[in-house]
């Protein structure tokens, strides 16, 4: 039986949320954030998770090893705003056991 | 004044299918969309992406779905106001509505169906502190009139198709064209990238990569942009125009101020009955609406459009008797005089 992982998400108002995310539902980080409604509907996951809008951009604050960035994500971040060295698109990060304890902060809405 | 039976706001898949369902009931439709083409997100964001959950289509590209929906509804002769955003709505004494766009086009209809998806697509504006002061004073987020740039110095920012294509186009018009992008790589179509390379080699496009525009300078009109490159000092590049082309993002926009009940950036509707909003005569269908259990799926939009049209018919013709007819039985009579029907059975006796 796979276990839930704990994620530490700082929302756009600076509030920290410790949430449990399932590893067996094929969810990604953007979808988990939406399922907990940590950002209003319509302001996150606008393109549905195709790495085509950057509305799920977040800053990764812990040193977890994340899946390598694909070309779509890389190119989208090249055109997004408020991008930092630790920026990733939540929709491109599947929830796995290895992510237990991951700390991320949502980038501002743009 | 454009008049119609059902005024549809949003020409995405839900809006287009509404035209078909309304047509079966002999109701005419007109669509308004902020984008210059029909199809909504399907044509603007992901035309080349496959969709796997359209009933009856194991796989269909979003762009092809749009083409098919336009073909399916064409005999009902929908009208289109494209490239304009529905701005205001006024209820008339006779119960009808007048919807006016940002360009002043007026539309009158007894029924308004909002099929606006996530809202109207607006250009994404880069977070440069003083940029708002220069909007329409040398900063334009989209190119409406290329002649504006004749013999001017132009700076374009962005790495997608529109940044590439406009850079190419403007080399024939502008005095100089500079393209600034944060990467050396561009994600536009290969042809466009190659063309820009050619024009760069020929000295017709000044390419600055990887770099970013961090400021805008000028008094009443823009006179230059601040270019930031990694590990280099910022400098000001003189220009007459700065065109940031970072794609479009949907915003609910003026519809949010129409007095409709809004929840979670969507319009609340009565899903037990007919997807009508809190204002009788105004419906909301597809991704733009919300109700308990709502799913933002194209197939749900189709269902909502179908029920909404039946309700609209009853509002327009309260005393008319009507029963739903199967298209296999009744065929499809277009407003253009065409008729589609099942072929007659051939009866042949056996001697």
User: Which pLDDT value is given to residue A94?
Assistant: 96
Of B40, B43, B45, B119, which to mutate for an interface test with A (greatest number of A Cβ within 10 Å)? B45
State whether A78 and B159 contact (CB < 8 Å). Answer: yes
Which H or E run contains A29?
Answer: helix A29-35
Task: Write the residue in A46, A78, A83 that is nearest to B249 by C-beta.
Answer: A46
Q: Which residues in chain A are closer than 8 Å to B51, comparing Cβ atoms?
A: none
Nearest CA in chain B to A40: B264
Give the residue-averaged pLDDT of B115-140: 92
The verdict on B216 and B309 lying in the same domain is no
Nearest CA in chain B to A75: B187
State whether A75 and B264 contact (CB < 8 Å). Answer: no
> Which tokens hold the place of B57?
């289509």
The verdict on B84 and B175 lying in the same domain is no
Nearest CA in chain B to A43: B265
Residue B348 lies in a domain: no
State whether A46 and B247 contact (CB < 8 Å). Answer: no
Nearest CA in chain A to B128: A81
Listed by number, the residues of chain B in 248-267 with a beta carbon closer than 8 Å to a beta carbon of chain A are: 249-250, 252, 264-266
Nearest CA in chain A to B245: A79
pLDDT for B233 beyond 60: yes
pLDDT tens profile B24-44: 999 999 999 999 999 999 998
User: Which pLDDT value is given to residue B292?
Assistant: 96
Nearest CA in chain B to A83: B182
pLDDT for B348 beyond 90: no
Residue B346 lies in a domain: no
Distance between CA atoms of residues A75 and B114, nearest Å: 33
Q: Structurally, how many domains does chain B consist of? A: 2
User: Which pLDDT value is given to residue B264?
Assistant: 84
Residue B66 lies in a domain: yes
pLDDT for A12 beyond 90: yes
State whether B46 and A40 contact (CB < 8 Å). Answer: no
pLDDT tens profile B179-193: 999 999 998 888 999
Q: Which residues in chain B are closer than 8 Å to A108, comparing Cβ atoms?
A: 127
User: Which pLDDT value is given to residue A1?
Assistant: 56
User: Which pLDDT value is given to residue A3?
Assistant: 82
The verdict on B255 and B234 lying in the same domain is no
Instruction: State how beta strands B79-82 and B29-33 pair.
Output: parallel
Residue B54 lies in a domain: yes
The verdict on B188 and B290 lying in the same domain is no
* Three-state secondary-structure class, residue A7: strand
The verdict on B114 and B259 lying in the same domain is yes
The verdict on B186 and B289 lying in the same domain is no
The verdict on B114 and B256 lying in the same domain is yes
The verdict on B165 and B79 lying in the same domain is no
Of A36, A37, A42, which to mutate for an interface test with B (greatest number of B Cβ within 10 Å)? A42
Q: Which residues in chain B are closer than 8 Å to A71, comparing Cβ atoms?
A: 187
Residue B333 lies in a domain: no
| SS3 labels along chain B | CEECCEEEECCCHHHHHHHHHHHHCCCCEEEEECCCCCCCHHHHCCCCCEECCECCECCEEHHHHHHHHHHHHHHHCCEEEECCCEEEEEECCCCCEEEEECCCCEEEECEEEECCCCCEEEECCCCCCCHHHHECCCECCCCCCHHHHCCCEEEEECCCHHHHHHHHHHCCCCCEEEEECCCCCCCCCHHHHHHHHHHHHCCCEEEECCEEEEEEEECCCEEEEEEEECCCCCEEEECCEEEECCCEEEECHHHHHCCCCEECCEEECCCCCCCECCCCCEEECHHHEECCCCCCCHHHHHHHHHHHHHHHHHHHCCCCCCCCCCHHHHCEECCCCCEECCCCCCCCCCC
The verdict on B98 and B171 lying in the same domain is no
Q: Which residues in chain A are closer than 8 Å to B164, comparing Cβ atoms?
A: none
The verdict on B147 and B237 lying in the same domain is yes
pLDDT tens profile B83-97: 999 999 999 999 999
Question: Which structural domain range is residue B166 located in?
Answer: 126-246
Residue B290 lies in a domain: yes
Of B220, B246, B272, the one marking the end of a domain is B246
Task: Write the residue in A40, A42, A79 that is nearest to B247 by C-beta.
Answer: A79
Distance between CA atoms of residues B186 and B205, nearest Å: 15
State whether A110 and B127 contact (CB < 8 Å). Answer: yes
Give the residue-averaged pLDDT of A8-20: 97
pLDDT for B107 beyond 90: yes
The CATH number of the domain where B144 resides is what?
3.50.50.60
pLDDT for B345 beyond 90: no
The verdict on B104 and B132 lying in the same domain is no
Residue B330 lies in a domain: no
The verdict on B10 and B110 lying in the same domain is yes
Listed by number, the residues of chain A in 65-94 with a beta carbon closer than 8 Å to a beta carbon of chain B are: 71, 75, 78-79, 81-83
User: Which pLDDT value is given to residue B342?
Assistant: 87
8-state DSSP, A100: T
Report the 10 Å Cβ neighbour count for B31. Answer: 26
Percent of chain B with pLDDT over 70: 100
Q: Which residues in chain A are closer than 8 Å to B185, comparing Cβ atoms?
A: 75, 78
pLDDT tens profile A27-86: 999 999 999 999 998 899 988 899 988 999 999 999 999 999 998 899 899 999 999 999
Residue B349 lies in a domain: no
Of B246, B277, B293, the one marking the end of a domain is B246
Residue with the two structure tokens 């609209």? B312
Report whether B341 contacts B53 (CB < 8 A). no
Of B246, B266, B287, the one marking the end of a domain is B246
């Amino acid at each position: 039986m796979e276990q839930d992982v704990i994620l530490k998400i700082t929302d756009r108002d600076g509030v920290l949320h410790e949430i449990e995310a399932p590893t067996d539902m094929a969810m990604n980080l953007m979808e988990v954030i939406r399922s907990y409604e940590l950002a209003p509907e319509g302001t996150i996951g606008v393109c549905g998770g195709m790495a085509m809008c950057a509305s799920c951009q977040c800053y990764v604050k812990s040193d977890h090893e994340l899946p390598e960035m694909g070309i779509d994500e890389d190119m989208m971040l090249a055109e997004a705003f408020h991008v930092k060295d630790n920026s990733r698109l939540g929709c491109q990060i599947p929830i796995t056991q290895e992510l237990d304890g991951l700390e991320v902060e949502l980038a501002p809405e743009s | 004044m454009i008049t119609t039976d059902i005024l549809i706001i949003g020409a995405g898949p839900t809006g287009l299918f509404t035209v078909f369902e309304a047509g079966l009931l002999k109701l005419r439709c007109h669509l308004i969309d902020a984008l210059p083409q029909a199809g909504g997100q399907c044509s603007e964001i992901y035309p080349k992406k496959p969709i796997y959950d359209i009933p009856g289509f194991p796989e269909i590209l979003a762009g092809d779905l749009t083409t098919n929906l336009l073909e399916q509804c064409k005999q009902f002769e929908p009208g289109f106001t494209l490239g304009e955003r529905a701005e205001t709505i006024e209820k008339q004494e006779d119960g009808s509505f007048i919807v006016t766009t940002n360009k002043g086009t007026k539309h009158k209809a007894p029924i308004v169906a909002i099929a606006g998806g996530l809202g109207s697509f607006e250009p994404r504006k880069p977070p440069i502190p003083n940029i708002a002061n220069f909007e329409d004073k040398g900063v334009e987020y989209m190119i409406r009139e290329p002649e504006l740039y004749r013999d001017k110095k132009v700076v374009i920012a962005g790495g997608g198709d529109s940044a590439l294509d406009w850079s190419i186009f403007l080399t024939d018009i502008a005095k100089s064209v500079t393209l600034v992008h944060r990467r050396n790589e561009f994600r536009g179509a290969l042809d466009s990238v190659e063309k820009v390379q050619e024009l760069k080699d020929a000295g017709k496009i000044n390419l600055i990569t990887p770099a970013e525009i961090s400021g805008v300078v000028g008094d009443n009109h823009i006179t230059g942009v601040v270019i930031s490159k990694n590990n280099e000092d910022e400098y000001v590049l003189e220009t007459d125009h700065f065109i940031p082309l970072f794609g479009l993002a949907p915003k609910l926009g003026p519809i949010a101020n129409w007095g409709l009940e809004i929840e979670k950036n969507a319009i609340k509707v009565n899903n037990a009955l007919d997807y009508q909003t809190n204002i009788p005569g105004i419906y909301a269908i597809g991704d733009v609406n919300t109700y308990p259990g709502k799913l933002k799926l194209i197939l749900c939009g189709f269902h909502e459009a179908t029920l909404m049209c039946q309700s609209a018919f009853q509002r327009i013709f309260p005393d008319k008797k009507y029963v739903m007819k199967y298209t296999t039985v009744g065929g499809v009579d277009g407003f253009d005089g065409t008729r589609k029907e099942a072929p007659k059975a051939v009866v042949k006796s056996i001697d």
